[in-house]
Structure 1
Amino acid sequence: MTAGTVVLLRHARTAYNATLRLQGQIDIPLDEVGRWQAAEGGAALASSHRATAIVSSDLGRAHDTARAYARELEGAEVRTDQRLRERGFGAWEGLTGEEIRERSPEEYAAWRRGADPVRAGAETKAAVAERMAAAVTEHADALDDDATLVVVSHGAAISLAVTALLGLDPTTWRGLAGMHNVHWSHLHRSGAHAVPAWRLVAHNVGAGYPLDQWQAGPDWNLEPGPKSA
């Protein structure tokens, strides 16, 4: 017995997202645009996927995004699981890419090529994929075959989870584009004894806004007011 559908939803925007800072496991809240994204994205997700169970990372930005979606389902329960946290990036957390490059040029270049930045104290991709896939599988296995599990997590963690669930090597395979805030991946359970056990149905699906409008927030279409004399 296992859920037939799993949806992995990335959290809404934070100030670190807006300024291109590496968040990792820093518990930073949603910003104003993020709260709007969570409401709009939650409504869009509810129109296509109505969860039987909702499980979220325990970090606030993911949990608040999960609660926005749950409100669309008349206050469905949101459970948390620490295994669904973002990949930890150690000493690099809170820094911009330029700051990381200046401080650790060689390791930064290796990271951009796909290597694990172990000297910075980051989790390995394999470790993140293992804990994410284990959490998703455990929560899915507790549900009926016609159930839908919605998992609210983080960008890097979701990419690694999907890679692992598709039976691919998370240390070397980099075939998924990173997800935008409050966008989701949809996986469907394969038939009995099929390999891999899950199939990717859709990836990086959102509320339907053009990306520039989505990133700008609810005031994207406001023209500047007249200048005072």
Structure 2
Amino acid sequence: MDSSNADLLNDVPFVPQAWFRSWALDPSGFRRYWDRHVAEGIVAREVLEETGAWLIESDGNDAPTAEVYLEARKAFLLDESGIDGGHWLLGLVRPITPEEVQVRPGAILHHDASLCLADYEVELTLADCLNVSIEGEPEVAVGAIRKGVTLFLTADAGGATALVSDYIFDDRYDEDREDEDGRTIDTFIAVGCSQSPAGVVQALLPFTLRYATQPRLAGAVVHLTFDAEGKLAAVTA
């Protein structure tokens, strides 16, 4: 595609799968430029004429909003910029912007705007279900999607860290910070799904209390008292 003969591909009725985002190998979310995965195989022109192909138009960091929608649709997202201008595929490409994606959450179970995530602007909202769509197209269900500063989650969303930040600090990849964010989001979901104060406390317990042996606590019964704002007021045994 980088040669003067790139137009020789224009009339071939197949294109490589590698020209499109592989949702199985490269799910929606912020991408590290060195960590791109491509699928093998080819796609027939007649398939693309039936389903269409998409191109995300975004100047900022909100592209994952549209990616989540397209992944849920199992859509072909064009991921190759070196195609000759006369190729038939470009005539099938439909542009989409993150602003077009409409998010319709179900019942809101929990919300928190004060969590210390890598992207400090992100607010978390837990819903019992999430549906997304664009105008004129059917809704599709998703497990998590970010819209602006709000990261919408369902109970099965997992850490969803790919929608929080690209984790680039001082030109390096901060894996520890990503793991920390994942635990924070998992805890937020567990708290939001808890039906009683005991369940909330269970979700908030640190690893050492939840799984490690503490001989001095053998047989103990501990009472936690919280004030009207939900802050810990007293611990008695």
Report the TM range for the smaller structure's normalisation.
under 0.3
TM-score calculated relative to the size of structure 1: 0.26
RCO comparison, higher one (Cα < 8 Å, 6+): 1
**Could you say which structure has the higher strand fraction?**
2
**Could you say which structure has the higher helix fraction?**
1
Q: Which has the larger radius of gyration?
A: 2
